[in-house]
Amino acid sequence: MNVTATEFDVCVSISDFVVYTDPNSGIFVPQPSLLTVFDELGLVVSPQDLYERYFANEKLGAGSVEIYRSAKHAGAVAAFDLYRDKFEQLDLVAFSVACGTEALPAVASNLRAFFDCASCQIALQQVNHSERLRKLLDAAVAA
């Protein structure tokens, strides 16, 4: 019996969610591979908005858990831990994504492309049961 791993845990810098079109202009766009993952799953979430909200919260030692569920695919969800640690200087964020088997090839390849382009590659795991995803979902319900 094969168990298909359709969940992913990722940890990168929030700065990897966007690409600066011109470093001197301050203009940035969503990271294309990450945006493709969200589009493939029918998730209404913008990497650029997450980036802006993360830095809009100037209070260190605080943050939020944000959950996005798909109206297009049952069970497709993305959960983001946007906590800003007081002592961590890389602006690391952890997030998890769950998808169905039909979207798995596109999600896996685009998450891999996103991670490979990241300046701060901490973790990318493909699992059949993400503990991080469950904890983020539970934290969002408790809040």
Across 82-95, average pLDDT: 90
The 8 Å CB, 24+ separation contacts for 117-122 are 117/16, 117/31, 117/33, 118/12, 118/13, 118/16, 119/13, 119/15, 119/16, 120/12, 120/13, 120/15, 120/16, 120/90, 120/92, 121/12, 122/11, 122/12, 122/92
pLDDT of residue 135: 93
pLDDT of residue 3: 66
Judge whether 66 lies within some domain: yes
Judge whether 1 lies within some domain: no
Q: Encode pLDDT of 90-128 as tens digits.
A: 999 999 999 999 999 999 999 999 999 999 999 999 999
pLDDT of residue 67: 96
pLDDT of residue 23: 77
Judge whether 75 lies within some domain: yes
**Cβ contact 107:42 at 8 Å:** no
Longest CA–CA span in the chain (Å) reads: 54
Q: Looking at the 3D structure of the chain, how many domains does it have?
A: 1
Sign of CA dihedral 134, 35, 112, 73: positive
pLDDT of residue 1: 58
pTM of the model: 0.91
Spell out the alpha helix ranges (H) of 42-88. 47-56
Domain encompassing residue 133: 7-142
Please report which confidence band the pLDDT of residue 77 belongs to, taking 50, 70 and 90 as the band edges: very high
Half-sphere exposure of 40 (CA within 13 A, CB side): 22
CA distance 22 to 75: 37
Q: Encode pLDDT of 2-59 as tens digits.
A: 667 899 999 999 999 999 988 788 889 999 999 999 999 999 999 999 999 898 876 7
